[in-house]
Amino acid sequence: MKRSTLELLCCPGCHSTLSLQTGHGDGPIGEGRLLCSGCERSYPIRNGIPHFMDPKDLEGPNRRFARGYDWFSRLYPLFTKIGFLGFGGERKARKEVLDRLELGGGRVLEVSIGTGANLPYLFETGCVGEVYGLDISAGQLARCGSLITKRGWPVDLFLGTAEALPFKTETFDSVLHIGGINFFSGKKQAIDEMIRVARPGAKIVIADESEQIARNLYRLSRLFRPRHREEMDLAIPVHLVPETMENIRVGGIWKAHGEDHGYCLEFRKPVSPSAA
């Protein structure tokens, strides 16, 4: 993690400032601990990745899917590549979402960055400054970290949940999420957090599988947990976006055989009148 990134972080629980307790020198931070000045909680940094959650503390869908992604991380890139074949290939499918971002060389946050499959398409635009990626799966982040090191990209990674982002308010120029929100434990909290960390005027883009596809995936997951009977709200979460947001739009994506297999929800955080 870059040492300058410390200025962007806050405690995900109380939003107080964090201080680096160990990890000396002027270079990147590989190991150490971050201490919250408010609640005094301590967060470890391992292999350059701050850990803002403990997997054993997760509950509901977050707990199940974090474990699933850890187990599936080796095959996930191949799985998604094959999955996008029916929509014109992975490049076309990903750019259908990424092209909706308004990149101007600023900071980009990708929530649920996974193995980093969107990074090549972000950096090839030439309009990206620094990228920050958060994920709930340590296994996914390990794969993503290997890709970042190999390509030499300016990306910092964080282990945490979308419902409690470890970043200061109004930090990012663009916020992106592709895949996963259908099965978040707290969709409303996640969307509110994406809005909180976005700067006024920033574009927020959220995409995932269509409701029918999500239901099919959920039924499949229940085959491995036959006693699990949790009901999931798999509707497109446009109703969870505050009415105060601007240019709220939702549309179908990933079309095949005349049907949309995904959706893209996009909106803008308004600029306050005093700042206009």
pLDDT tens-digit series, residues 200-243: 999 999 999 988 887 877 666 554 454 555 667 888 999 999 99
Residue range 191-203: mean pLDDT, rounded: 98
∠ CA 60-61-67, rounded to 5°: 105
Q: 3.40.605.10, 3.90.550.10, 3.40.50.150, 3.30.1360.180: which CATH number matches 52-268?
A: 3.40.50.150
| Beta strand extents in 55-159 (DSSP E only) | 108-111, 131-135, 155-159
Q: Which amino acid is at 149?
A: T
How much is the pLDDT for 222? 55
Domain residue limits, the chain: 1-45, 52-268
The CA distance from 194 to 189, in Å, is: 9
What are the tens digits of pLDDT across the range 33-76?
Answer: 999 999 999 999 999 999 999 888 888 888 877 888 787 778 88
Mean pLDDT, rounded, of the chain? 90
Rounded Cα distance between 252 and 160, Å, is 29
Look up residue 32 and give its two tokens: 């150490």
3-class SS at 254?
strand
The predicted structure's pLDDT at residue 223:
47
pTM beyond 0.85: the answer is: yes
Q: What's at 234, amino acid-wise? A: L
The rounded distance, in Å, linking the Cα atoms of 160 and 151 is 24
**137-172: per-residue pLDDT in tens?**
999 999 999 999 999 999 999 999 999 999 999 999
| β strands within the chain, DSSP E | 18-20, 32-36, 42-46, 49-50, 108-111, 131-135, 155-159, 172-178, 198-209, 246-256, 259-268
